[in-house]
Amino acid sequence: MPEPTAPKSLPVADDREYLDMPAERRVLATAHAALLAKTAREVACELPLGADIDDFRRVLAAEAKP
């Protein structure tokens, strides 16, 4: 019996090409996502190794307040 093969997706040069938005807006969305990822990394680096999602949320909320 032949082995099943996974369906192949269409090759996409940029994973975001499927988004129906102007290029300028796509650039802004990418920059925003990068900023969010940077903030999450900084908060995660401050937490102890055994921290859970509630600890992460608490630190993130505390830093967001002026």
- Residue by residue, pLDDT tens for the chain (66 residues) are 556 565 555 555 565 566 678 888 888 988 999 988 988 888 778 777 788 888 888 887 887 766
- pLDDT attached to residue 64: 74
Q: Which amino acid is it at 65?
A: K
- pLDDT attached to residue 42: 82
pTM: 0.51
Rounded CA-CA distance 9/4 in Å is 15
Biggest distance spanned by C-alpha atoms of the chain: 64
Look up residue 11 and give its two tokens. Answer: 């090759």
- pLDDT attached to residue 34: 93
- pLDDT attached to residue 52: 83
